């Protein structure tokens, strides 16, 4: 099962490391990634595979939010189908 993880916040060292460590600790594979810095704001979108995760999606979502709070960014994790449906024009 695939999910989309978004990260937003002021740019600072350690954001990618913190997010990647969280994903690795839970057996989540990064399949695609895009990140940029816009006027000092860090933005990243990842498509991740959560099939081998040690937690169900609901618990992963809460854990990702907690990681974001710890490193000072906003992290959202949602099923790929929900993300795509929300962003259709």
pLDDT tens sequence across 50-83: 999 999 999 999 999 999 999 999 999 998 777 6
Q: What is the pLDDT of residue 77?
A: 97
CA atoms 8, 13, 16, 17: torsion sign: negative
Q: Where are the domains of the chain?
A: 2-86
Contacts of 53 (CB under 8 A, 6+ apart): 26, 27, 28, 60
**Domain 2-86, what fold?**
Alpha-Beta Plaits (3.30.70)
Q: List phi, psi (to 5°) of 29.
A: -100, 135
pTM of the model: 0.88
CA distance 63 to 14: 18
> Which tens digits make up the pLDDT trace of 7-31?
999 999 999 999 999 999 999 999 9
């Amino acid at each position: 099962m695939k999910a989309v993880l978004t990260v937003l916040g002021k740019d600072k060292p350690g954001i990618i490391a913190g997010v990647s460590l969280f994903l690795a600790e839970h057996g989540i594979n990064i399949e695609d990634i895009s990140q940029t810095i816009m006027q000092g704001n860090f933005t990243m979108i990842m498509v991740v595979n959560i099939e081998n995760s040690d937690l169900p999606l609901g618990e992963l979502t809460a854990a990702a939010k907690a990681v974001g709070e710890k490193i000072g960014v906003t992290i959202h994790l949602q099923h790929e189908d929900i993300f795509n449906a929300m962003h259709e024009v």
